[in-house]
Structures are given as structure tokens and as C-alpha cells.
Amino acid sequence: MTTRLRRLGVCAASAGVLAAVVPSMAQATPVITMSGSTSVAPLATLLAKAYVKSHPGKVKFKLAQGGSDVGVADVAAGRVTIGNSSRDPKSSDPSGIFFNKIARDAICLVTNPGNPLANLSQETIQSIFAGDVRDWSQVPGAGITGTIDLVGRTAASGTQDAFQKIFMGSKTVTSSIAAKASNGLVQQAVQSDKNAIGYVSLDFIGGVTPAGYNGVACNLRNAKSGEYGGVRNFWMVTRGRATGVVQSFIAWVQNNAKAQAIVGKHWVPLK
């Protein structure tokens, strides 16, 4: 997966996102370019499609991925218009950028369908991902025995950052984890390995089994109600406060009932 937009003209075949989102328009049509979070990308795609449909001829979109840190760095450097981020702002972020909240999202602990887990306590999650517990025979409710295969995200990932803050606290994820560059790759790894456990955005639980967290199932209803504790923010990051067509798009995402209805299908809307 490319982590940079080449000449601000990445096509969907390489970015993996917007193949036919935008009809052919005149060269003068403004282009909103995005890069960053693989968690935010599915939502950003849906929102871009809907915005183009409701504002014909006003703007085009081009989207790449690469991880939240990539999106933040890209927008700070002026390489893209919007950096998509699934992690909160950091003190180490470049100055002059602005985080615009667009939604919230649940992070689910997932296992292979051959080893469903009804519930994981925070203590058990920390023991597993810190490498203190290494065999499924030591995990309450596990239906298998054998070495636990840990799957997670790379350091550039907003999902990894949120997982560390929400689930791990002061405990550090072991370096022996298989670090993947996207939610989809974690999903695929867990789906193909009976001994695997990982963590993904709620939109990526197809083919894997989400475990409950502290007695609450990881599903959209519980995320919306606030019962599920593993919820983080989604952001569209701009270089300074958004202006022009970018401001119009982000304001539409945040305030338009149709836009927030799109969010509410798989994520937690702002309202």
C-alpha cells in the first residue's frame, strides 16, 4: 500500500479506495486529497461518494491510506488536503494542524471463528498482549490450547495508538507481535490462523469473532450507548482551520443529517 500520493493523482487501484467515486469533471474542479488511517478510509470513501452526489461538479476526491501518522505528516507538509486520523492529537504532532472530529469508532478484540471468546477482561488483554500469557490454556474461556499468535498494528497506526491507551494502559505491547499495516491485514491474519488474536476497527470484523470487553459485547449498539469501553475518535486533520471547499465538506460531514446517517450505519455519529 502506498503511503504517499504521487503528484496528488493516486488512482483507486493503488490507493485501494476510490475507483469510481467521482465522475469525469473539468480540470478546474477543486480536488480534495486525503491520506492516512485505514480505519477512517471506509467511512471517508462513503462520505466522499455522498458529497459528490449531492454537490455535482463542485469537487473531486482522491484518497490514499498508510496509517494515521502518515496522514498527519502528509497534511502538515502540504502533501494532501486532509489527513485522516483514528488517534487523538499528540503533543509531538507538527504545529499548525487542526483536528476536526467526524465520528467515533469501536476497537474490537478478535479471534479466529474456531476459538470464540465470550469475554476478555482488561487484565487478561494486558497479559496476552504484553506477552505474559503465551498459551491459550491460560486464557479463561478459550476453546483451544497452544501458542497464542499475536497480531497487531505498526507504530504509524492510529488503531495501535488507541489500543495502547484504552486497553493496555501502562503495559507495553510485546515486540513479538506480528505488526500489520492495515486493519484488513489484521483481519485476514486472524481469519486464517486458529491460534491468532488481534484488534481491529468494528468495520473489519467480518470472518473473525469479536470478543466482549469487560463483560460488554463489541457491537455498534453498545458503542453508541457508551456501554462498550473500547471507543475512540475519528478525525479529519487540516493544515490550520479548514477553508473553502474543504471547510464546506467537513462542515457537511459534521452537521448534515444525511452525512451523520452514513456514519451511524457502522460507526458512532457525533449527534
If pLDDT is split at 50, 70 and 90, which confidence band does 271 have? confident
Nearest in space to 55 (alpha carbons), one of 81, 83, 21, 27:
21
**What CA–CA distances, in Å, run from 261 to 42, 99, 184, 204, 252?**
15, 21, 24, 19, 12
Q: What is the DSSP letter of 255?
A: H
pLDDT value for 66? 94
Q: Reply yes or no on whether the pLDDT at 22 is more than 50.
A: no
Strand partners, 123: none
Average per-residue pLDDT for the chain: 91
pLDDT tens across 182-208, in order? 999 999 999 999 999 999 999 999 999
If pLDDT is split at 50, 70 and 90, which confidence band does 27 have? low
Please give the domain boundaries of the chain with CATH numbers for all domains: 6-104+234-266 (3.40.190.10), 106-225 (3.40.190.10)
Q: How far apart are CA 128 and CA 194, in angstroms?
A: 16
pLDDT value for 28? 85
Amino acid identity at 261: A
DSSP assignments along 3-64, one per residue: SS-GGG---HHHHSS-SSSS----TTS-EEEEEE-TTTHHHHHHHHHHHHHHSTTT-EEEEE
Q: Model's pTM, two decimal places? A: 0.87
pLDDT tens across 77-89, in order? 999 999 999 999 9
Q: Reply yes or no on whether the pLDDT at 9 is more than 80.
A: no
pLDDT value for 237? 98
**What CA–CA distances, in Å, run from 62 to 30, 41, 220?**
11, 11, 28
Q: What is the DSSP letter of 212?
A: E
